[in-house]
Amino acid sequence: MSAEKLKTIKRELTRFMMSYKFALEEMNTKINILKQEFQYIHDYSPIEHVSSRLKSPESIMKKMHRKNYVFSLEEIRRNMKDIAGIRITCSFLSDIYQISDMIQNQKDIHIVECKDYIKNPKQNGYQSLHLLAEIPVFMSDRQENVMVEVQIRTIAMDFWASLEHKIYYKYNQAIPEHLTDELREAALSAAELDRKMERLHNEITDLKKNGEEQNPLEEQMLLPLELLAKLRQTRV
């Protein structure tokens, strides 16, 4: 292969990876705007933490080889939907669906696929909500629609998934059966914790709402008292 040909391939691969990088940046900006707006309006943010990652060219090539795909940029784009990924961590179960709705309501985002592993957990106990979003990226000479995988989960789900991943690779993907059973039990415990925290969250929210409903009456009572106080000061 000539030096000129190699240079062309390198340039095309660089532009290919840049489009995914720009899509991640675009998506991160949108999520940050939603987070700040929600915080400003409701004095509360459903988003605890956001992280993103971009697969390396080496990782992409290994996966293409493992799946026996033909190596070309077009085949990579067609077969690999997780090159760019964003993970959003929330406090409560209801936050997950609220964030999902906010993302799906963005006019320039096309949701290609939604997988709810919370209502339908994987066999190993894994829970999360996955959105496959198509993001328009405007380059100098063209527009590209780039896939970004968005995972939305609670802190408990993220904790379990992180440890499961470490154990999975520690045993070189062949986990002993007793550990598989214990991981599944741990996933059930994490799910129960999420449900309990959701109940507590709802109860506290209701108490807060009831308190706020009484505040306007208190303010109406304070106004005449303040006027009375001023009148007394004037007389003196």
Catalytic annotation, residues = 149
Cα–Cα distances in Å, from 147 out to 23, 77, 134, 135, 197?
A: 8, 8, 5, 6, 33
Tokens coding 118: 């919370």
With 0-12 / 13-18 / 19 or more C-beta atoms within 10 angstroms meaning exposed / middle / buried, residue 96 is: buried
DSSP 8-state assignment for residue 9: H
Place of tokens 């007389």: 235
* CA dihedral sign, ordered 20, 24, 27, 33: negative
